[in-house]
């Protein structure tokens, strides 16, 4: 009996008291390394699938709708995205940190309060914006477009879509804060909503249904509402499992976290989404459709960097915290070289076969977008070749520098759009690519000064081997 008692005491003292199974505060679940590997896999899968799904969606749109309606749909999305961003007041990204840190400090009431501030705030602000878009301000915006009548009747749908998208993104980041990376990856970048819309468009195409842009927008809204209901159910389940103890955040403290992220996300939209709206003001919707199709195809050249950033983010934070700056630079630069190689192959494919690809993927009416696709793909390659400069700064506590760089770039881009838009799609594509170059130059110089590292590609043949070796070391595995 004494021996059995000693064994029991040893087991209890070595493992400590175990939290309830399934509790959000259960920190003794799988190992951190295993969780990072599994979670990173879901993040990589979500990021790697989102862009091809968006391309497939554009392909089906080109077969279901006439070019003018395709252009109207692209313009609608370019209005919905900033509406969703402003509705959140920048709270979606900070919510990840607030929820995760509150759970780590065993303050479940703080996590619950942060969510209960962010969701009602988004509902109130988004609802007010939706009312404006559905009536006077929305009608004024569509009056600026050359063919705004196609969207004017759909303004209430666009208003509801903007609010739905804001809430879906907020739910996805909330689930990320709960470390449910599988669900967060599914809802992030509106992946599930895009997949459902692709299925609906495929049915319309196979049935040869005579659809118009308003019909597709209704389908997009219905799929968004279905995804929102599922995401809200998952968040509610997480909230119900939270214990009720610990101090809370102040409401003002939660809201203050959103302002810098709101500015950064609006700046990103200016450089990556305002081009379509400017073209809609100065050019006919058919040209907007061609530009939108070419830009979605060109985004494929940027996938390698997105994948590298998802893998590198925790490694950068870890190496910087241990002040291993030399190894950090080697990892980042080798990753940039690894990403630049396949990106260059994509650009070369566009240069050689871009017009044929546009005709094959979208129909012959979109072959005119060949120069736009090549120009935008070259800009994406430059972005890839500069490496993870922005991620290196944000993961080491220099978010303010990234915000300043994005603001300067957005201001220059707006001026460039205003000058270039009357001259057509290729001129606007040139401004987009130039803005990517400007942003990366500014951010890489800041990274060099703040962190003492270079992030751009090394153009060396052994970069692949060095990247694999350094990444294994960073993960604590034998090289």
Query: Token pair of 477, please?
Result: 């595995």
Classify 21 as helix, strand or coil.
Answer: coil
Tokens of 391: 């991620």
Please say whether the beta carbons of 422 and 362 come within 8 A: no
Structure confidence by residue, pLDDT tens digits, 122-170: 999 999 999 988 887 888 888 888 877 888 888 999 999 999 999 999 9
pLDDT at residue 469 tops 70: no
Tell whether the model's pLDDT for residue 45 goes beyond 80.
no
What tokens does 253 get? 């403290």
- pLDDT for the residue 138: 83
**pLDDT of res. 397:** 78
- Give the pLDDT confidence score for residue 373 in this predicted structure: 94
What is the mean predicted confidence (pLDDT) over 439-461? 87
DSSP state of 20: P
387-445 residue pLDDT tens = 889 888 887 878 889 889 988 998 999 899 888 888 889 999 999 999 999 999 999 99
pTM of the model: 0.78
Q: How far apart are CA 269 and CA 283, in angstroms?
A: 20
68 versus 252: which is more confidently predicted?
A: 68
- Banded model confidence at residue 19, pLDDT cuts 50, 70, 90: very low
Q: What single DSSP character describes residue 422?
A: G
Residue scoring higher pLDDT (314 or 471)? 314
Q: How confident is the model at residue 232 (pLDDT cuts 50, 70, 90)?
A: very high
Q: Which of 38, 39, 54 shows the shortest CA–CA distance to 302?
A: 54
Residue-averaged pLDDT of the chain: 82
Closest CA to 93 of 259, 317, 321: 259
For the stretch 437-443, contacts whose Cβ atoms lie closer than 8 Å and that sit 24 or more positions apart, written own/partner, are 437/379, 437/382, 438/409, 438/412, 439/271, 439/405, 439/406, 439/409, 440/382, 440/383, 440/386, 440/389, 441/386, 442/405, 442/408, 442/409, 443/386, 443/389, 443/390, 443/393, 443/401, 443/402, 443/405
The rounded Cα 26 to chain-centroid distance in angstroms is 29
- pLDDT digit string, tens, across residues 277-334: 888 888 888 899 999 999 989 988 988 888 777 677 767 877 887 888 888 888 888 8
Q: Are 114 and 254 in contact (CB under 8 A)?
A: yes
Q: If pLDDT is split at 50, 70 and 90, which confidence band does 23 have?
A: very low
Burial of 244 (0-12, 13-18, 19+ CB in 10 A): exposed
The tokens of 45 are what? 């899968």
Q: Percentage helix, strand, coil, to 5, in the chain? A: 85, 0, 15
Nearest to 371 by CA among 304, 436, 298: 298
Lowest average pLDDT, out of 87-96, 349-358, 359-368, 382-391, goes to 87-96
Quickly tell me which residue has 């175990």 as its tokens.
Answer: 18
- Say how many C-beta atoms besides its own lie within 10 A of residue 149's C-beta: 11
Nearest one of 182, 163, 162 to 172, comparing CA atoms: 182
- Minimum mean pLDDT range among 105-109, 226-230, 457-461, 466-470: 466-470
């Amino acid at each position: 009996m004494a021996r059995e008692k000693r064994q029991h005491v040893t087991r209890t003292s070595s493992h400590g008291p175990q939290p309830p199974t399934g509790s959000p505060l259960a920190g003794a679940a799988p190992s951190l390394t295993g969780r990072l590997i599994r979670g990173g896999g879901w993040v990589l899968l979500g990021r790697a699938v989102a862009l091809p799904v968006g391309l497939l969606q554009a392909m089906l749109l080109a077969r279901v709708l006439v070019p003018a309606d395709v252009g109207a749909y692209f313009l609608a999305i370019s209005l919905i995205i900033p509406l969703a961003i402003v509705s959140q007041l920048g709270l979606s990204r900070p919510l990840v940190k607030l929820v995760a840190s509150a759970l780590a400090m065993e303050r479940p009431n703080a996590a619950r309060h942060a969510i209960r501030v962010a969701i009602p705030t988004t509902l109130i602000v988004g609802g007010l914006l939706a009312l404006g878009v559905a009536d006077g301000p929305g009608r004024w915006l569509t009056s600026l477009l050359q063919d705004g009548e196609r969207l004017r009747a759909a303004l209430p749908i666009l208003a509801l879509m903007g609010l739905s998208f804001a809430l879906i993104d907020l739910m996805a980041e909330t689930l990320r804060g709960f470390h449910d990376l599988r669900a967060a990856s599914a809802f992030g970048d509106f992946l599930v909503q895009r997949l459902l819309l692709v299925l609906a468009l495929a049915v319309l195409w196979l049935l040869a249904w005579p659809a118009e842009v308003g019909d597709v927008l209704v389908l997009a809204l219905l799929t968004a509402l279905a995804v929102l209901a599922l995401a809200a159910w998952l968040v509610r389940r997480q909230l119900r499992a939270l214990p009720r103890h610990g101090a809370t955040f102040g409401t003002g403290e939660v809201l203050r976290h959103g302002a810098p992220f709101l500015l950064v996300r609006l700046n990103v939209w200016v450089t990556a989404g305002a081009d379509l709206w400017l073209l809609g003001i100065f050019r006919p919707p058919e040209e907007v459709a061609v530009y939108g199709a070419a830009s979605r195809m060109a985004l494929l050249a940027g996938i390698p960097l997105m994948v590298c950033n998802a893998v590198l983010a925790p490694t950068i934070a870890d190496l910087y915290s241990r002040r291993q700056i030399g190894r950090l630079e080697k990892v980042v630069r080798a990753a940039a070289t690894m990403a630049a190689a396949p990106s260059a192959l994509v650009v070369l494919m566009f240069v050689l076969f871009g017009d044929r690809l546009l005709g094959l993927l979208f129909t012959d009416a979109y072959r005119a977008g060949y120069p736009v696709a090549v120009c935008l793909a070259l800009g994406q390659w430059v972005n890839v070749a500069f490496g993870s400069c922005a991620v290196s700064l944000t993961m080491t506590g220099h978010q303010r520098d990234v915000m300043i760089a994005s603001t300067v770039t957005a201001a220059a881009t707006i001026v460039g759009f205003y000058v270039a838009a009357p001259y057509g799609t290729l001129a606007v594509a040139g401004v987009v690519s130039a803005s990517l170059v400007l942003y990366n130059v500014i951010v890489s110089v800041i990274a060099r000064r703040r962190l003492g590292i270079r992030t751009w590609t090394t153009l060396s043949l052994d970069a692949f081997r060095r990247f694999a070796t350094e990444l294994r070391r960073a993960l604590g595995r034998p090289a």
